[in-house]
Homo-oligomer: A and B are copies of this chain.
Amino acid sequence: MTTQIPEGDEADRPLRADAARNRQLILDTAAEVFAEHGLDAGYDEIARRAGIGVGTVYRRFPERDELVQALFESRIREIVTIAEEATTRPDPWDGLVWFLERALERQVADRGLKEAMVRTVDQDAHMTIGREQLGPLIEAMVVRAQADGTLRSDVEATDLGVSLMLMSSITTPQQPELWRRYLALFLDGLRARPDQGPLPLIAPADESMHAMMCNLHGTRP
């Protein structure tokens, strides 16, 4: 169907002042709640903290995905920007490490972002920015660092995706930055060395990644 007629009715009509105010309030509160409890936090918790009724939240965001997208699209785009900058840094290895650290700092601080990043890998999510833009950029980092001879040659882009997911789980209230310790260890393993043998098995394909995310978190789809 290729109708020229715009969706008119629904799309153009601006929100009433109170509705617009509440929409923003919901976004702000949801950001906070999702950061703490993840993307599956109950709407009632958001409503309670925002001091409004649950119905209001459901009316504005009938599909949870709309809320998630509204909140995290820009955050993920921010990570894409970091990745872009990483690929242009003078030293390829430093660029790669710099990217991982920046990305992890953000994911570790916000459980919602971490889960949104996972959905990025998800086949049919409409969080395509990540999948379509981040993938190639990481690939570029890998190629560059391998050409430079600092990254071991049998590492692939998905390996970095896996490590991001793993590291982002390593935080505790006592040691919020604990992930840095294991990132350091892991990076030492990624470094090209004269004596090292080939890695066992092939790097995971996208569908493997997806399955892995699912049992790493509780996310089912």
| A residues whose Cβ falls under 8 Å from a Cβ of B | 155, 159, 162-163, 166, 169-175, 177-178, 180-182, 184-190, 193, 196, 199-205, 207-208, 211-212, 215-216, 218
A17 to B190, CA, bound (A): 59
Residue of B nearest to A185 (CB): B189
A159 to B178, CA, bound (A): 11
* Contact A172/B204 with A188-B189, A189-B186, A189-B189 known, Cβ cut-off 8 Å: yes
Query: 8 A-B residue contacts at CB 8 Å?
Result: A155-B185, A166-B170, A169-B215, A177-B201, A185-B190, A188-B188, A188-B189, A189-B190
Residue of B nearest to A180 (CB): B200
Selected contact of A201 from candidates B163, B180, B201, B204, CB within 8 Å: B180
Selected contact of A188 from candidates B171, B196, B205, B212, CB within 8 Å: B196
Q: What residues on B are CB-neighbors of A186 within 8 Å?
A: 185-186, 189
Q: What residues on B are CB-neighbors of A180 within 8 Å?
A: 200-201
Contact, CB under 8 Å: B166 / A208: no
Contact, CB under 8 Å: A208 / B169: no
A204 to B190, CA, bound (A): 23
Q: What residues on B are CB-neighbors of A185 within 8 Å?
A: 155, 159, 186, 189-190, 199
Selected contact of A181 from candidates B175, B203, B216, CB within 8 Å: B203
A170 to B159, CA, bound (A): 11
Which of A174, A190, A202 has most chain B Cβ within 10 Å?
A174
Contact, CB under 8 Å: B218 / A174: no
Residue of B nearest to A197 (CB): B184
Contact, CB under 8 Å: A174 / B205: yes
- Minimum distance in angstroms from A100 CB to a CB of chain B: 14
Contact, CB under 8 Å: A175 / B204: yes
* Contact A184/B200 with A169-B215, A218-B218 known, Cβ cut-off 8 Å: yes
